[in-house]
Structure 1
């Protein structure tokens, strides 16, 4: 399934009001850790899978990348990305992640931010990424944490006063499609265990160099106090790997 909720104007309008949509990378709680997992981007050929507004594409150019390609299926996302981008070395392509193909070794760095849990075949994506990377190239990505995606409800268990008691985990070993409710819409995601995610990366030929389950920084919590409960359970899983 190649899902394109962001071209539903109502959904896109709601997404555009989220903190990370307005504040960019500085409003993304996982960004400080993800940034630290990136290699030196100076002179690198970079691909961003599921580029959205193009925040990471522009960051890569600011860090001295030679060229950047951003891929996304949404016309709305790419229109916004192009409006916010003034750099001829950044190319945006309308394409589903599942449909992306490139020449062998075409890129030095491939990254993806919170997009791969929407892709049905993560195994195939890993193989394509490996093919597309030059020897020694880096693959860095973030996904929603399997603790977060295990239940389709993706919500807290609440007490009688509406207080958040705990985050329930159930059906963790039952991998596959989940229909979650996000911004008032049904959104299809794919749940995989941590082991499955890591083993698909290893089986594709990568060497995993770093794994992180970041919490919001104190600076982010000061600016966005509503994120205080994000430290009570992992919401993101970040992995860095290199093409062996």
Structure 2
């Protein structure tokens, strides 16, 4: 089986963490990644590595991190052979859920318009210039690249999905050694009270946690004093104190636990010690924002809504509505 040389891949990140005084975290990461890649490798690892290695090496590439589709560009047109290699490699990393991306004019129309979410959130962020950022549940790293494009000093995304990591590496193949990394670990794998980040994002994670208050406390532990939390999650209409707990599935998702009202969410943030929490956006998710595409051919939102009443999920719950909240660690 092909092996992933994670020691070389993360060497620059680890050295930067050591230089910043986080030697203990690096030791923990080395143990976690040894277990992940060496002791119990994923059965699809060889296939994903092969797909990544098919991507052609193109001299003189550049990447536009600020365009709606993260755009990898070349000073000259690709040859037919390079174009075929590119298509084969990128399609070997399907399904593509978070994006979009543009590799040398091959447009990856992902399931989610993650650029729409960024456009809703970005106007309310503190200046990201020079900040150290953590993106929890980052998927393929689309938002990590957008954060770097806004001037972040270093961005670390975490997501346990290994396919997401290889999709991220397909972009990084063309960026050089920029200070943006994706670690295939879970939130609970982070040391407690790390206090290493100026801004922590958690977008699309809270409703997957059995204990949302514990998740908020874990997020607070990642932040330095005065750091900023950017939280996006599913919500429902209702008074303070109201939260929907699905009987089983929500929109065909099994691992959905709590969908609070906005006022309840603000109360949770207050009780877990945040300050100045404010709802900056509430938007209903539509089948234009989340849908099946040629790059994600499985069922999507249109299949998870009531066909007779698209304002409800197929289980009869209120349709997906997402709120973004920004708060500060005192």
The reply to whether TM is greater than 0.5 is yes
Where does structure 2 lack aligned partners over 5 or more consecutive residues?
Answer: 1-41, 45-91, 102-107, 290-300, 303-309, 312-317
Q: Do the aligned partners of 1:34 and 1:238 also contact (CA within 8 Å) in 2?
A: yes
Larger radius of gyration: 2
Structure 1 segment 10-29 matched on structure 2, within 5 A: 16=96, 22-23=108-109, 28-29=115-116
SS at match of 1:105: coil
Choose from 160, 165, 175 the match for 2:245: 175
Q: Do the aligned partners of 1:98 and 1:119 also contact (CA within 8 Å) in 2?
A: no
The TM-score, its normalising length taken from structure 2, stands at 0.52
How far apart are the structure 2 equivalents of 1:143 and 1:8?
A: 31
SS at match of 1:92: strand
After TM superposition, the runs of 4+ consecutive aligned structure 1 residues lying more than 4 A away are 12-15, 17-21, 23-28
Report the alpha carbon displacement of residue 52 of structure 1 after superposing the two structures with TM. Answer: 0.5
Match of 1:40 in 2: 127
* Structure 1 pair 61–177 and aligned structure 2 pair: CA distance change class (3 A): farther
Match of 1:59 in 2: 146
Is 2:281 aligned against 1:212? yes
* Structure 1 pair 178–141 and aligned structure 2 pair: CA distance change class (3 A): farther
Choose from 211, 214, 226 the match for 1:124: 214
* Structure 1 pair 13–174 and aligned structure 2 pair: CA distance change class (3 A): same
Is 2:285 aligned against 1:198? no
How far apart are the structure 2 equivalents of 1:44 and 1:79?
A: 25
Q: Do the aligned partners of 1:178 and 1:191 also contact (CA within 8 Å) in 2?
A: no
Structure 1 segment 158-169 matched on structure 2, within 5 A: none
Match of 1:157 in 2: none
Choose from 111, 114, 118 the match for 1:31: 118
Q: Do the aligned partners of 1:30 and 1:216 also contact (CA within 8 Å) in 2?
A: no
How far apart are the structure 1 equivalents of 2:244 and 2:131?
A: 39
How far apart are the structure 2 equivalents of 1:57 and 1:48?
A: 7
Report the alpha carbon displacement of residue 114 of structure 1 after superposing the two structures with TM. Answer: 1.6
Q: Do the aligned partners of 2:197 and 2:223 also contact (CA within 8 Å) in 1?
A: yes
Match of 1:133 in 2: 223
Report the alpha carbon displacement of residue 33 of structure 1 after superposing the two structures with TM. Answer: 1.6
Report the alpha carbon displacement of residue 174 of structure 1 after superposing the two structures with TM. Answer: 4.9
* Structure 1 pair 65–56 and aligned structure 2 pair: CA distance change class (3 A): same
* Structure 1 pair 99–178 and aligned structure 2 pair: CA distance change class (3 A): farther
Report the alpha carbon displacement of residue 203 of structure 1 after superposing the two structures with TM. Answer: 1.5
Match of 1:49 in 2: 136
Q: Do the aligned partners of 1:212 and 1:238 also contact (CA within 8 Å) in 2?
A: yes
SS at match of 2:256: strand
How far apart are the structure 2 equivalents of 1:174 and 1:57?
A: 30
SS at match of 2:151: coil
The higher relative CO (CA closer than 8 Å, separation ≥ 6) is in 1
Count the aligned residue pairs.
203
Structure 1 segment 77-96 matched on structure 2, within 5 A: 77-85=164-172, 86=175, 87-96=177-186
How far apart are the structure 2 equivalents of 1:103 and 1:18?
A: 29
Q: Do the aligned partners of 1:101 and 1:128 also contact (CA within 8 Å) in 2?
A: no
SS at match of 1:143: strand
SS at match of 1:239: strand
Q: Do the aligned partners of 1:177 and 1:188 also contact (CA within 8 Å) in 2?
A: no
* Structure 1 pair 203–177 and aligned structure 2 pair: CA distance change class (3 A): farther
